[in-house]
Structure 1
Amino acid sequence: MTEKDFLPLPYKTLPAEGKITWKAPSNIALVKYWGKKKDQIPANPSISFTLDACATTTTVSFSKKEDTESFSFDVIFEGNRKDEFKPKILTFFERIEAYVPFLRTYHFNIETSNSFPHSSGIASSASGMAALSLCLMDIEKQMNAGMSEDFFKRKASFLARLGSGSACRSIEGDLIQWGGHEKIAGSSDLYGIKYPHEVNPVFKNFHDTILLVHKGEKQVSSTAGHNLMHGHPFATERFAQAHDNLDRLEHIFRDGDLKQFIKIVESEALTLHAMMMTSMPYFILMKPDTLHIIHKIWKFRESTKTPICFTLDAGANVHVLYPESVKEKAIQFIQNELVVHCENGHYICDRIGNGARRLI
């Protein structure tokens, strides 16, 4: 599909008002997307686990207004008016207006909340933009009753990408791939798709315990971090590595090869941070406790042969991944050895989820 496929035909009916609620999960990339082109096009393909507990719930109330010259909306975050969120949503509306041209017709009241700390490195922009995009698509579906479910999800992913790149991976579950890749049929830079190849059951019930090493604002925003890949001395090699790792994952997912899965996932996490440390300007986003956790995971895995590993986003927090079969052993290790490295002892137990769902 191309961008033109998402341009709607003239609407036959426009509802006067309404209210919609969607809950969209965050996701954790296994092969990382880092670096982007114009209009949130990824410089390399990625693949992610969709999470379950870490999610954003967004309610959009809308009513027709007389003035259709400008966008009109208010943002309420966890019960408080958040005007500082408005510029990002305004930019989002400007990017997507051609694809949802009813935006200037209504005043929107956007009420949103997270099940996890905002700006804690758990991709709140991904779940937030996914939930908002699904609400807007729900409104459009009222104007086009013949819209198929597949098109609904694909366009929601397309819109979400224009708000936050990784948000396009938060529409569906459980394993989502985004970015054109020659060996993945249907893959696209424009939206995420459900991973089309065979996946062993061991990867269908993975857990993700998120260790909140640092809950504050990140040292550098994701957008600024992505932009540092322009002219990066190792960018070409990094983008080729992502394609190669996606190729390798095909047989790893099929065969249930946890040992090789761990090697790729941890390497991808460290490569992401290596890109940040070798950019100009350069950043070190890990904290001392991040490194302590990594070394403890390596030592525990070596001594017990437990298939537990880590991944990281562009921040200090650690996602500890492990299959259902070792859940009790992994949780005990996390509580005994790793929680001490979390800010105020805080961590979140999550697992693979099935994607977003409509609440109202």
Structure 2
Amino acid sequence: MVSDKDFIQNEYNLQVENGSFQWSAPSNIALVKYWGKKEKQIPANPSISFTLNNCKTITKLSFAKKQNDGTFSFDLLFEGQPKEEFKPKIIKFFERIETYCPYLKDFHFTIDTENTFPHSSGIASSASGMAALAMNVMSLEKTLNPTISEEYFNQKASFLARLGSGSACRSIKGEIVVFGEHKDIAGSSDLFGVEFTSAVHPNFKNYQDTILLVDKGEKQVSSSVGHDLIFGHPFAEQRFAQAHRNLSTIKTVLENGDLEEFIKITESEALILHAMMMTSMPYFILMKPNTLEIINRIWKFRNETQIPVCFTLDAGANVHVLYPEMVKEDVLQFIKTELVGYCQNGQYICDEIGNGAVKYN
């Protein structure tokens, strides 16, 4: 079994003076939700997610050798402009990964990052952002130690990304990714995400996710705060056991193509996530009235047409509308006719299953 000590390397060539890398990493949408984390971003329960394709963070990391004065040195640009309020999160990330990346204080970095979707609105921007940064850090490590394998590169990138944002480990590689130890998933780990290796039924190939932007503003409660409230929650242990059961079931569903069962698990998991928020102490609600209106209209449309479309939610008000590629035309027509009016400024994003992080240079 892989342990965190396997990611500690001491063989580095620090003669490298400067350079740059650029990676994109996508967001992901969990089907079985991860809610609650222990120390060092260890998940309280396993999760499984679709990797997205179009909703992504693009990050360029430039580096220049400096004297190691015991400090992290970096400039941070978001969409071309300095973004001081993001810096504490990067510092915390560097502090968490320093044991595994001891070369960080030997360089000054310029981190230039942008999203293809609204930041902090419930589309897992921290997941894509930390995944993209982790891939860049690993490109630097590969430059300093060219002997590391591709498998080690990706596994450690997922491990590092998790230390920035738990769900970020699911954005490195693979169309479908499992994060957290689970008895039915070979090689699954609490330390990093693993690709779902079972044969996936054709029903789920190129699965579509249209994200309805109900509220593009920042959430009033961050996911980190929400995760912490699970401990001491009256329903926590039942929830963790339920997540394990649901992951076993959805594994079978992804193999056999049962869309009806997929819909049941996916929608109930979304509602359970928000139910846990509403029954925390302190309690909070991230859904908006339009979120509920969209859900009801999806249910009505599905009942009337028997088209296998469903919803899921992340920790926010936006609605992910999930459906097979074969019904894309019908569902998009439904969205344009009935759901766009409930989106902020009529905005929505058409996405689909993707393959993970991509290097640009």
TM-score, with length taken from structure 1 = 0.99
Q: How does 1:1-360 map to 2 (within 5 A)?
A: 1-360=2-361
8 Å Cα contact 1:19/1:59 also seen in 2: yes
Secondary structure of the residue that 2:142 maps to in structure 1?
helix
Secondary structure of the residue that 2:328 maps to in structure 1?
helix
Deviation at 1:114, TM superposition (A): 0.2
8 Å Cα contact 1:174/1:204 also seen in 2: no
Secondary structure of the residue that 1:56 maps to in structure 2?
strand
Question: What is the one-letter code of the residue matched to 1:202?
Answer: N
1:317-339 Cα offsets, whole Å, 9 max, x none, are 00000000000000000000001
The whole-number CA distance in structure 1 between the counterparts of 2:73 and 2:164 is: 17
Which stretch of structure 1 is more off in the superposition, 4-13 or 15-24? Answer: 4-13
1:92-142 Cα offsets, whole Å, 9 max, x none, are 000000101100000000000000011111110000000000000000001
Question: What is the one-letter code of the residue matched to 2:31?
Answer: L
8 Å Cα contact 2:11/2:145 also seen in 1: no
Deviation at 1:67, TM superposition (A): 4.0
Deviation at 1:70, TM superposition (A): 0.5
8 Å Cα contact 1:213/1:290 also seen in 2: yes
The whole-number CA distance in structure 1 between the counterparts of 2:98 and 2:193 is: 20
1:19-69 Cα offsets, whole Å, 9 max, x none, are 000000000000000000000000000000000000000000000112431
Secondary structure of the residue that 1:330 maps to in structure 2?
helix
The whole-number CA distance in structure 2 between the counterparts of 1:150 and 1:132 is: 18
Give 4+ residue runs of structure 1 displaced > 6 Å after superposition: none
Deviation at 1:163, TM superposition (A): 0.1
The whole-number CA distance in structure 2 between the counterparts of 1:14 and 1:255 is: 53
1:256-303 Cα offsets, whole Å, 9 max, x none, are 000000000000000000000000000111100000000000000000
Deviation at 1:230, TM superposition (A): 0.8
Secondary structure of the residue that 1:22 maps to in structure 2?
strand
Q: Which runs of 5+ in 2 are unaligned?
A: none
> Pairwise CA RMSD of aligned residues?
0.7
The whole-number CA distance in structure 2 between the counterparts of 1:170 and 1:46 is: 13
The whole-number CA distance in structure 1 between the counterparts of 2:20 and 2:108 is: 12
The whole-number CA distance in structure 2 between the counterparts of 1:130 and 1:291 is: 31
The whole-number CA distance in structure 2 between the counterparts of 1:325 and 1:24 is: 27
Deviation at 1:205, TM superposition (A): 1.1
The whole-number CA distance in structure 1 between the counterparts of 2:301 and 2:259 is: 16
Deviation at 1:250, TM superposition (A): 2.1
Deviation at 1:13, TM superposition (A): 4.2
Aligned length: 360
The whole-number CA distance in structure 1 between the counterparts of 2:296 and 2:62 is: 48
Which stretch of structure 1 is more off in the superposition, 203-212 or 63-72? Answer: 63-72
8 Å Cα contact 1:290/1:316 also seen in 2: yes
8 Å Cα contact 2:178/2:193 also seen in 1: yes
The whole-number CA distance in structure 2 between the counterparts of 1:13 and 1:317 is: 45
8 Å Cα contact 1:26/1:124 also seen in 2: yes
The whole-number CA distance in structure 2 between the counterparts of 1:303 and 1:4 is: 55
8 Å Cα contact 2:42/2:166 also seen in 1: yes
Identity, % of aligned positions:
64
Deviation at 1:14, TM superposition (A): 3.6
Q: Which runs of 5+ in 1 are unaligned?
A: none
TM-score, with length taken from structure 2 = 0.99
Question: What is the one-letter code of the residue matched to 2:347?
Answer: H
8 Å Cα contact 1:309/1:320 also seen in 2: yes
Question: What is the one-letter code of the residue matched to 1:101?
Answer: P
Q: 1:178 to 1:14 in 2, by over 3 A?
A: farther
The whole-number CA distance in structure 2 between the counterparts of 1:198 and 1:113 is: 34
